[in-house]
Amino acid sequence: MPERPPDEDNTTANPRLFIWFRIFFNCRFYYPVYAILFLDFGLNAAQFAWLNVAWAVSIVLLEVPSGALADQLGRRTLVISAAVLMVIEMLVLCAMPVIDPALAAADPEAGKRALGVLFLVFCVNRVISGAAEAAASGADEALAYDSLDAGRRDTLWSRLTVQLMKWQSVGFIAVTLIGAAVYDPDVVNAVSGWLGSERRFTQSETLKFPIYLTFGMALATLVTALRFREPASMRPKCDLPLPASVRRSFRRTFAAGGWILRTPAALMLILVGLFYDSIVRLYYTVGSLWLETIGYEPRWFGVISVAGSLTGILSATVGARLMARHGPDFNFRLLTALIFVPLVSLAFPVRHWSVLFLPGFWLAMRLLHFFLSNYLNRVTDSENRATVLSFRGLTMNLSYGLVTWIYGLQTGILREKLGASEAAAPPPGSAGTGARDALSGRVFAEAVSWWWLYFAVVLAGLWLFRRTYCRKSWGELLDP
């Protein structure tokens, strides 16, 4: 018998709904094949990079106004808006046409125009996705937190976040295994044959299977969002009109930035977050291309991604032990090594075996945010904490967008350098052929081989800045 929806003023279900909302919103079946999905539609690496720039910029531009909207309209309205935007985002991807490669080859001009339209539609999709991320940012968390018993709120919230980490990791494991499997036509055809069907699917058909499944997750996200409750007593009190509220939000953000610039410890933490997070997140964005480069078929992407999810489950324990047993100097040196060694491995690919270096990326991403959260909270007073943490998220997304833009420029230059301008993109409609042009592979391999050098320059700059401006070690900055 289905559960009755909660009463308007009954918020006891909000914490449980928060977990379900995060699982449905964040666990997406196309994540294990994210990069190759876009390229199999016919885009090239530079266009793919520009799409991620559009996504990051839309989040940066909408993050602060979304806080003002939450003050005006309530957090529940913003959560529902995020869910609606996710549904629209998935509908756009579901409706995306797959261009017939034979027709494109017969009429190159028509194929080029179709590819241009494809890129514009993808760009709209990425902006909608960024808007959904900005709308969801913190609103669901605030609803869940305020719904907990005030006397035991901190204890209950810690338990809730542990449950979220556990169930979200389980969700990621499930969607990565299923998403990678349904993307591969060989796996789909094997299962189809086992079920007694003679139907044979092509890559141009299975291309959208992870998207269709994620559309189902979007609908589940919307249903969950509608079940949140926010009585008048829980709604933020704001007497300002919307434009004034937006201006106030921007003033608070800029004030937090000014405080960070005047506080060496906070400034160093933000700088490390910007540069470390952006390069690791860039790998996460193109990770499926790297797995393909070292010889793995898409069907294996899910299995490899599961290892990453298991690493995430262990990272909280590892991070807590490092914080308890070692100082900031050791922890940041370890973090640097965990990023630098895998970056060097990208320059020297070894078929299949290079995958052994990837746990460094997986662990580094979790430890980075674990360390930043703990150390930044340590040096920030409670009055500024929420705004400073929001500023950290804004600047990280901005940095990711900038690094992705540089990657797009890099791949464009490498395409020209390596020649074959007529192959500036895979043949439109190459989805289904399973044969992105060889030039794309060479461009990608050459591009990632330089990342370690970029990171080395960043490390040298950060070390020089800390020694000349801060004139303190990490331990002296964070453990005065």
DSSP string, 394-447: HHHHHHHHHHHHHHHHHHHHHHHHH--GGGSSPPTT-TTTT---HHHHHHHHHH
Percent of the chain with pLDDT over 70: 86
User: Does the pLDDT of residue 224 top 90, yes or no?
Assistant: yes
At 431, is the pLDDT very low, low, confident or very high (cuts 50, 70, 90)?
A: very low
CA–CA distance, 12 with 7 (Å, rounded to integer): 10
Find, among 144, 167, 178, the residue nearest to 26 by Cα: 167
Q: With contact defined as beta carbons under 8 Å apart, do 316 and 367 qualify?
A: no
pLDDT digit string (tens) for 70-129? Answer: 666 778 888 999 999 999 999 999 988 776 666 666 667 776 777 788 889 999 999 999
- What string of DSSP letters covers 353-410? GGGGGHHHHHHHHHHHHHHHHHHHHHHS-HHHHHHHHHHHHHHHHHHHHHHHHHHHHH
pLDDT, greater one: 195 or 334: 334
User: Does the pLDDT of residue 385 top 70, yes or no?
Assistant: no
For range 423-433, the mean pLDDT: 42
Q: What is the pLDDT of residue 454?
A: 94
For range 282-298, the mean pLDDT: 89
User: Does the pLDDT of residue 151 top 70, yes or no?
Assistant: yes
Q: With contact defined as beta carbons under 8 Å apart, do 36 and 298 qualify?
A: yes
Among 114-123, 199-208, 309-318, the range scoring the smallest mean pLDDT is 309-318
Return the domain boundaries, the chain.
Answer: 14-478
Segment of 221-225, 300-304, 315-319 carrying the highest mean pLDDT: 221-225
Among 110-124, 187-201, 333-347, 448-462, the range scoring the smallest mean pLDDT is 110-124
At 233, is the pLDDT very low, low, confident or very high (cuts 50, 70, 90)?
A: low
Find, among 329, 345, 336, 327, the residue nearest to 276 by Cα: 336
CA–CA distance, 167 with 173 (Å, rounded to integer): 10
User: Does the pLDDT of residue 241 top 50, yes or no?
Assistant: yes
User: Does the pLDDT of residue 438 top 80, yes or no?
Assistant: no
Q: What is the pLDDT of residue 126?
A: 93
Q: What is the pLDDT of residue 320?
A: 80
Q: What is the pLDDT of residue 239?
A: 65
Q: With contact defined as beta carbons under 8 Å apart, do 395 and 274 qualify?
A: yes
Q: Which residues contact 412 (CB under 8 A, 6 or more apart)?
A: 46
pLDDT, greater one: 170 or 150: 170
At 4, is the pLDDT very low, low, confident or very high (cuts 50, 70, 90)?
A: very low
Among 104-108, 258-262, 371-375, 472-476, the range scoring the smallest mean pLDDT is 104-108
CATH number, span 14-478: 1.20.1250.20
Q: What is the largest CA-CA distance in the chain?
A: 71
pLDDT, greater one: 8 or 138: 138
Taking the CA atoms of 396, 293, 169 and 4 in sequence, report the sign of the dihedral they define.
Answer: positive
Give the CA angle between residues 333, 304, 357 to the nearest 5°: 30
Q: What is the pLDDT of residue 422?
A: 41
User: Does the pLDDT of residue 468 top 90, yes or no?
Assistant: no
Does an H or E element contain 296, and which? none
For range 14-32, the mean pLDDT: 92
For range 446-466, the mean pLDDT: 92
Find, among 352, 364, 341, the residue nearest to 291 by Cα: 352
Does an H or E element contain 189, and which? helix 185-194
At 260, is the pLDDT very low, low, confident or very high (cuts 50, 70, 90)?
A: confident
List C-alpha distances in Å: 81 to 87, 134, 140, 389, 393. 10, 10, 11, 23, 20
CA–CA distance, 414 with 381 (Å, rounded to integer): 47
CA–CA distance, 360 with 188 (Å, rounded to integer): 32
- What string of DSSP letters covers 204-228? HHHTTHHHHHHHHHHHHHHHHHHH-
At 386, is the pLDDT very low, low, confident or very high (cuts 50, 70, 90)?
A: low
Among 34-38, 146-150, 400-404, the range scoring the smallest mean pLDDT is 146-150
Pseudo-torsion of CA 159, 146, 366, 377, nearest 10°? -110
Q: What is the pLDDT of residue 282?
A: 93
Q: What is the pLDDT of residue 383?
A: 62
At 232, is the pLDDT very low, low, confident or very high (cuts 50, 70, 90)?
A: low
Find, among 375, 389, 378, 392, the residue nearest to 273 by Cα: 392
* Helix/strand/coil for 109: helix
| pTM over the 0.85 mark | no
pLDDT, greater one: 19 or 232: 19
User: Does the pLDDT of residue 298 top 90, yes or no?
Assistant: no
Q: What is the pLDDT of residue 234?
A: 60
* Helix/strand/coil for 324: helix
User: Does the pLDDT of residue 177 top 50, yes or no?
Assistant: yes
List C-alpha distances in Å: 461 to 209, 369, 457. 45, 21, 6
How high is the mean pLDDT of the chain?
82
At 27, is the pLDDT very low, low, confident or very high (cuts 50, 70, 90)?
A: very high
